């Protein structure tokens, strides 16, 4: 990794962590796109997991009093189940499939809320959320919009949604790192040094975004999230189709 790419990497980590600090997602989508440009898909997943783990852990810590711990515990069971299934099927990612999966995600944020009868506070729904979102996190790197459909009928406010999502993503990204551990070990010590250098910027971006979050209303939070995720998803979908065509 050259010095210029390393500098851009650190800037992208800060910017995307700030974005996720505000909206609880979206930043990870942008970060993964950048990583797919400079690493093979499996390696990009591993590096993405490390950065997202750092960003989500700091976000969860800052909002720890808003975390719904019983929900997180049940979701964790689902994530473990998803990882086991992907191991059985010997899943291996590639840039085209990852891009298409992410590109289709915005469909979820535009579906009417009345279509969904999920409530993350219910045990069976929380486990189902962990299974589906955990599988998508490992297979495509991110799962924010999917997790959201399990919160639309809950009584959580924006702070509880962001905090609980951050904690379950700490779990999911930790398992994702283990899933792609072989690819992670293929990176040089210098490359991992740059990743380690970027980690504090992930926490700084998260702290900055967290301050902005508290200034938003619940209505603005949901509106901005929908449009940002849609724009990123359209870009990913076009990229996935282009990769398949070539």
CA 14 to chain CA centroid, Å, is 15
Handedness of CA 133, 30, 40, 5 (dihedral sign): negative
CA 197 to chain CA centroid, Å, is 20
Say if CB 80 and CB 127 are below 8 A apart.
no
- CA dist 20 and 217 (Å) reads 16
Residue showing tokens 């979908």:
237
- CA dist 152 and 105 (Å) reads 16
Give pLDDT tens digits along the chain (246 positions).
677 888 898 899 899 888 877 776 677 888 888 888 888 889 999 998 988 898 789 889 988 999 999 999 999 999 999 999 999 999 988 888 888 988 888 787 777 767 777 888 889 999 999 999 999 999 988 887 788 778 766 777 778 888 898 899 899 999 999 999 888 888 888 888 888 888 888 888 878 887 887 777 777 777 777 788 888 888 889 988 998 887
**Predicted pLDDT of residue 21:** 74
Q: How many CB atoms lie within 10 A of CB 242?
A: 11
Say if CB 84 and CB 60 are below 8 A apart.
no
- CA dist 52 and 199 (Å) reads 9
Q: Where along the chain do its domains lie?
A: 3-245
- CA dist 200 and 184 (Å) reads 20
């Amino acid at each position: 990794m050259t010095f210029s790419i390393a500098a851009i990497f650190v800037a992208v980590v800060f910017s995307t962590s700030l974005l996720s600090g505000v909206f609880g997602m979206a930043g990870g989508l942008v970060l993964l796109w950048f990583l797919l440009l400079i690493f093979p898909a499996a390696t990009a997943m591993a590096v993405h997991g490390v950065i997202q783990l750092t960003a989500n852990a700091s976000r969860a810590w800052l909002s720890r009093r808003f975390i719904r711990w019983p929900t997180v515990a049940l979701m964790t069971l689902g994530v473990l189940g998803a990882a086991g299934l992907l191991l059985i099927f010997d899943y291996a990612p590639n840039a085209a499939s990852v891009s298409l999966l992410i590109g289709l995600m915005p469909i979820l944020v535009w579906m009417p809320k009345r279509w969904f009868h999920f409530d993350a506070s219910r045990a069976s729904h929380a486990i189902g959320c962990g299974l589906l979102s955990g599988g998508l996190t490992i297979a495509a790197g991110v799962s924010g919009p999917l997790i959201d459909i399990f919160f639309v009928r809950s009584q959580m406010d924006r702070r509880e949604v962001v905090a609980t999502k951050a904690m379950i993503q700490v779990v999911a990204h930790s398992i994702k790192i283990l899933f792609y551990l072989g690819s992670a070990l293929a990176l040089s010590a210098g490359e991992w040094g740059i990743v380690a250098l970027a980690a504090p910027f992930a926490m700084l971006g998260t702290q900055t975004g967290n301050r902005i979050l508290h200034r938003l209303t619940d209505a603005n939070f949901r509106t901005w999230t929908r449009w940002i995720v849609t724009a990123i998803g359209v870009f990913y979908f076009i990229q996935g189709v282009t990769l398949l065509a070539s």
